[in-house]
């Protein structure tokens, strides 16, 4: 039997600053193939090329990846400023309705960094353009220098809600994570349940209340060293289990067994 298909949302990219491409990090595909045990399928995030309905019929689940461009603030009722950074309106046009459709249908997705923020905005949350400017907050951005290992190094604790979904999944209430983001959730939407926070109170882990499927999202990057990291591996394993359940028609509630 063929493995189920996970659609990996791509990012706009210029090869050699000239050739336009839809790109996805190799580590995303490796995490899906080797840890979730699914087929990774890179999705061009452009509504002129694919529709939400087509994607949902083609794929069994979705990985909402990180990306340099941020969700456009018009999607949560604010004006764009320089602090909001760059945008990818084509990706917004695919991912936001895709998240809402998956929540309603019960089709599984996993949100990572920008993907976490997409889930938040799709479910009525707002974002702060630069959380390091908030008094008492740390700088969560990627270190500007260093090797990949140094950029993705574990940098802070995330503490989960006691007996919450992430606590049960990880088997621990506190874990160490990397951090490579500038924006963060400011006001959570009604159904966007924050289930883990950094020491400075930045929301780091969430799920959607009353959703019939897997809707976990994290602000950090678990795709880095996913096969070996004790936090990443259970997250991608649980996601793979949910995708297989969807593909075989079981439609099981998210993390019902943990």
d(CA 17, CA 254): 41
d(CA 107, CA 55): 11
d(CA 21, CA 53): 23
Angle, alpha carbons 106-111-113 (nearest 5°): 165
pLDDT value of position 146: 80
| pLDDT tens, residue by residue, 116-162 | 999 999 999 999 988 888 888 887 887 877 888 988 888 899 999 99
Residue 251: band (very low, low, confident or very high) from pLDDT cuts 50, 70, 90:
low
Domain assignment present for residue 29? The answer is yes
pLDDT value of position 239: 98
Average pLDDT over residues 99-115: 97
Is the pLDDT assigned to residue 68 strictly greater than 50?
yes
Contacts of 104 (CB under 8 A, 6+ apart): none
| CB burial of residue 28 (10 Å; 0-12, 13-18, 19+) | buried
pLDDT value of position 252: 53
Q: Are strands 5-9 and 61-64 parallel, antiparallel or unpaired?
A: parallel
Domain assignment present for residue 256? The answer is no
Domain assignment present for residue 254? The answer is no
User: Residue 149 is inside which H or E element, if any?
Assistant: helix 148-151
Is the pLDDT assigned to residue 55 strictly greater than 70?
yes
Residue 257: band (very low, low, confident or very high) from pLDDT cuts 50, 70, 90:
very low
Give yes or no for a contact between 103 and 208, defined as CB atoms under 8 angstroms apart: yes
| pLDDT tens, residue by residue, 187-215 | 999 999 999 999 999 999 999 999 999 99
Which domain covers residue 102, as residue numbers?
Answer: 5-247
Domain assignment present for residue 252? The answer is no
Give yes or no for a contact between 31 and 228, defined as CB atoms under 8 angstroms apart: no
Which residue reads 């260093």 in tokens?
Answer: 146
d(CA 106, CA 115): 17
Total structural domains in the chain? 1
Contacts of 33 (CB under 8 A, 6+ apart): 39, 40
- CATH code: domain of residue 32: 3.40.50.880
Please name which of 201, 47, 208, 202 lies closest in space to residue 122, comparing C-alpha atoms: 208
Q: Extract long-range pairs of 130-133: CB within 8 Å, 24+ residues apart.
A: 130/83, 130/182, 130/183, 131/182, 131/183, 131/184, 131/202, 132/182, 133/83
pLDDT value of position 148: 87
Contacts of 168 (CB under 8 A, 6+ apart): 255, 258
Give yes or no for a contact between 91 and 44, defined as CB atoms under 8 angstroms apart: no
Q: Is 249 left (phi over 0), alpha (psi -120 to 50) or beta?
A: left
Mean pLDDT over the full length of the chain: 92
Share of the chain above pLDDT 90, in %: 73
């Amino acid at each position: 039997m063929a493995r189920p298909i996970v659609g990996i949302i791509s990012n706009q990219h210029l090869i050699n600053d000239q050739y336009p491409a839809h790109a996805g990090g190799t580590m995303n595909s490796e995490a899906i193939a080797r840890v979730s045990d699914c087929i990774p399928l890179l999705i061009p995030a452009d509504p002129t090329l694919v529709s939400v309905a087509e994607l949902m019929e083609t794929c069994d689940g979705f990985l909402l990846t990180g990306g340099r461009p941020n969700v456009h603030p018009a999607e949560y009722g604010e004006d764009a400023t320089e602090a909001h950074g760059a945008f990818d309106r084509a990706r917004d046009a695919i991912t936001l309705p895709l998240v809402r459709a998956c929540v309603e249908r019960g089709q599984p997705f996993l949100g990572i960094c920008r993907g976490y923020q997409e889930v938040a905005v799709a479910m009525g949350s707002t974002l702060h353009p630069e959380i390091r400017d908030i008094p008492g907050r740390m700088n969560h951005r990627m270190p500007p220098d260093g090797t990949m290992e140094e950029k993705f190094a574990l940098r802070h604790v995330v503490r989960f809600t006691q007996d919450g979904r992430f606590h049960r999944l990880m088997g621990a209430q506190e874990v160490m994570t990397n951090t490579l983001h500038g924006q963060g959730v400011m006001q959570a939407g009604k159904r966007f349940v924050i289930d883990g926070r950094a020491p400075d109170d930045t929301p780091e882990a969430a799920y959607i209340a009353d959703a019939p499927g897997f809707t976990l999202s994290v602000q950090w990057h678990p795709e880095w060293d996913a096969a070996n990291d004790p936090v990443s591996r259970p997250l991608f394993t649980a996601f793979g289990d949910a995708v297989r359940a969807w593909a075989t028609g079981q439609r099981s509630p998210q993390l019902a067994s943990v």
